[in-house]
Amino acid sequence: MKFSVLVEVRLHPGIADPQGATIERALPALGFSEVAGVRVGKAIRFVIDAADEPAARAEAEDVAQRLLANPVIEETAVTVLGPPSVDGSDGAGG
């Protein structure tokens, strides 16, 4: 059974995020003065073939920890989204 998975990789709190800081500095010039605390991470989607939802989650967390994140500076959050959309081979929800 196929499951669409979303892995969010984000910097641990306290790790400097120059990319986020740059976005934040650019916002007032565009008229957005109400935005703060910008942090930039990665959103990785894939489709996993597993027996059931817990098995899919376990394998996705293993992939996230071993391949997608640097655990020294990054943490991961895995969301199993259910079956991939009918049209897409990429599991990105069309």
The tokens describing 79, both together, are 């969301």
90 binds a copy of itself (CB under 8 A): yes
Q: Which of 43, 54, 71, 73 binds a copy of itself (CB under 8 A)?
A: 43
Minimum gap (Å) between residue 68 Cβ and a copy of itself: 7
DSSP, res 30: G
Q: Is 69 in the site for a copy of itself (CB under 8 A)?
A: no
Our CA angle for 22, 71, 75, nearest 5°, is 60
**Residue 84 found at the interface with a copy of itself (CB under 8 A):** yes
d(CA 48, CA 64): 12
Provide the token pair at 77. Answer: 């959050």
CB 75 within 8 A of CB 15: no
Size of the site for a copy of itself (CB under 8 A): 44
Residues near a copy of itself (CB under 8 A): 6, 8-11, 13, 20, 23-24, 26-27, 30, 32, 34-50, 59, 62-63, 66-68, 84, 87-92, 94
